[in-house]
Structure 1
């Protein structure tokens, strides 16, 4: 029995080494992916803003002065650049994150959600949680930049000011509701018709068309060949990790059984 346990221990040690190697590949792949994603997000944010200003609300945009237009464009560029920098932050070590400086309250909240930022790279369960958390943070960043961009556009007078902030915040969620009809349009723009009820003046209630920025990871990846390729590489690495993870769990199950059998024999005695 001791030999069986030693054999399983050797198998587990070999698996841990293989998992560590996969972890290095995964972290390297994500570092490259997030760097590319940051550039792609900046590009798609500018493109979506262009479509919204020129096709969604051209009259409102034309009412702005040249200086106002330039200020809006600069604010959008700055927002895209900040997002690109934030995406790189979450793949670095905790020490490197601290050296980046203050990224704002929202950045602090997202940092705290990645407190397994340095997982046990020999443990496939911890690696899987780290990867899932990183994907969730990425989605939250896209959601926040979309919301911040819409607020910039509304403050500048491009998006209608009559639309209350909660409507803008819930616009993306409304796309999946039965009360919302999604309209075809350019990528990374939410173009839908929703019903807004007015309790005081029921005659004002009715269908309202809304166009707003809604950056979506799938559309951003689709528009960028390099990003799509890096996503495929990540998927390939995850397939290998999942396979090793199943073997890892199987060996730990075998170890538990072998140790339990040894413990039974050690404590057993004949009456």
Structure 2
């Protein structure tokens, strides 16, 4: 037996009310998680930079004068300072538009963190939301929060690598585009072969031309290129959470809510279809005349 329009609307209203309630709960969970994530990221970033400077590239680090070492360490701390406000900006409204570039979204969040007026990048974007009214809004909000977290961590890795390159700890001649491609490739492949929060990249350098008459093909291939390993900072959310037991627990609590939200969304979409069909049937009957 088909549901009545009144019954369908009651179910929709119930799901919308549940969405508002779960949003309030999840917002608080994210707030606590992001505050803890801020501390954990800072701690593990320092450990990763320490590993780069003392274990992987100790000679390069020792070439720096005392003042330059001190300045580098100070710059790393400076890059970490706005981290918490950037994280927390992503659980605030309004949210950045999904079509904005990485730089635009970062600037947007910095603006929100400083309590500046937010300007919507695309006023015609139907996906922009200002409050949570249903499961669809809730799923979109969660997606943007998760994307924002990874985007901020990725940007921090890039900024720290730039400082290491400026100080010739990491090879300064390494093209930034190559390093960025390596970071993205690892993220896409979810590689776990690298040390925590450090990326090792193999690059081909110093190609040499040899006379084929003097060497056989095998020897020539060995001399044509040299493979160099370059290490850089790559903060990974999985590494950060794995190293912090309390953070892992908080993440698990969030995942449980996200699973509930996904199920709610499926039910909501199903009821919305039923609502559209019921309204169409009523409209048909209202205009049909024998």
- What interval of TM-score do these two structures reach, taking the shorter chain for normalisation? 0.7 to 0.9
2:268 to 212, 230, 248: 248
Provide, for residues 91-117 of structure 1, a one-character-per-residue CA deviation record: whole Å limited to 9, x for no partner.
23459x9xxxxxx96632557689967
Partner residue, 1:207: 227
Check conservation: 2:90, 2:144, Cα contact below 8 A.
no
Q: CA deviation at 1:85?
A: 2.7
Q: Which runs of 5+ in 2 are unaligned?
A: 97-102, 111-119, 211-220
2:162 to 127, 139, 151: 151
Distance 1:59 1:119, change over 3 A: same
Partner residue, 1:107: 106
Q: Which runs of 5+ in 1 are unaligned?
A: 98-103
Residue 81 of structure 2 aligns to a residue whose secondary structure is helix
Instruction: Indicate whether 1:234 and 2:233 are aligned.
Output: no
Query: Scaled by the length of structure 2, what TM-score is found?
Result: 0.78
Check conservation: 2:242, 2:248, Cα contact below 8 A.
yes
Instruction: Indicate whether 1:194 and 2:203 are aligned.
Output: yes
Partner residue, 1:11: 11
Distance 1:46 1:20, change over 3 A: same
Partner residue, 1:222: 242
Partner residue, 1:28: 28
- Structure 1 Cα separation of the partners of residues 162 and 242 of structure 2: 26
Question: May I ask how many residue pairs the two structures share in their alignment?
Answer: 260
Instruction: Indicate whether 1:171 and 2:182 are aligned.
Output: yes
Distance 1:117 1:156, change over 3 A: farther
Instruction: Indicate whether 1:122 and 2:133 are aligned.
Output: yes
Check conservation: 2:19, 2:138, Cα contact below 8 A.
no
- Structure 1 Cα separation of the partners of residues 188 and 18 of structure 2: 45
- Structure 1 Cα separation of the partners of residues 275 and 10 of structure 2: 11
Query: Scaled by the length of structure 1, what TM-score is found?
Result: 0.83
Check conservation: 2:171, 2:230, Cα contact below 8 A.
no
